[in-house]
Every structure is written in C-alpha cells, then in structure tokens.
Amino acid sequence: MAKRAKKGAGETAKRAKKRYQFLYEDSDAGSVRVTGSFCDWTDGFALKKDKEGVWKTSVPLKPGRHEYRFLVDGEWRDDPKAAERVPNAYGGQNAIVEV
C-alpha cells in the first residue's frame, strides 16, 4: 500500500485563504453587499457601515485573481477605487482583486 506524501508548509500556505477587506464609501446607502467569482456570484457578503459612512467587510479569499461587484441598495455598482477592471456580459465592468 502506497503512503501519501505529506504536504509541505509551502504547499499549504499557497492554498490558504487570506482575508481581504472590501470598502465602499457611500454614507447615504441603506445596504451594501459584495459578490463575485469567489462565491460564484451568489448573495455574497454584507458590509457594515462605520461612523464615517464607509462600508466594510473582510472576506476569506483563496490565492488568485477574483472578479467582484458591489450591490448598493439592490443596484449593481462599480468599485470606484479598483485599480483593474474587466468588461462583463451585462455591459458593465467587474473589478479585479488579486490575492
């Protein structure tokens, strides 16, 4: 019977999820969510508003490149601070985050 090789620390670290903080500034918004390729574009994650009106959440992401968008009061919104974007199938743009 063959024995499995143990995973080295480097292999485990490469696949470990890292927390990424998403921010969205809109003090007038009633609700903000972030969704993307990292959760198969499901309901995603709710953001919480701080005292300055900045919405925040920390999401565990696998290493790699992820597309995402914000849902603000039920409407799709771009991330105005995203350094990179790609066109999506709906005529908008998805932001890119690389972990």
> Residues 3-34: pLDDT tens digits?
444 555 444 555 688 999 999 999 999 999 99
Helix runs in the chain, H state only: 9-15
CA distance 36 to 44: 7
Domains annotated for the chain, with CATH where assigned, are: 16-98 (2.60.40.10)
Where is average pLDDT lowest: 10-14, 26-30, 40-44, 81-85? Answer: 10-14
**pLDDT for the residue 29:** 96
Task: Please give the share of the chain, as a percent, with pLDDT higher than 70.
Answer: 85
Closest C-alpha to 56, from 94, 17, 25: 25
What sign for the dihedral angle of Cα 68, 79, 19, 4?
Answer: positive
Q: pLDDT of 57-70, one tens digit each? A: 999 999 999 999 99
pLDDT of residue 16: 86
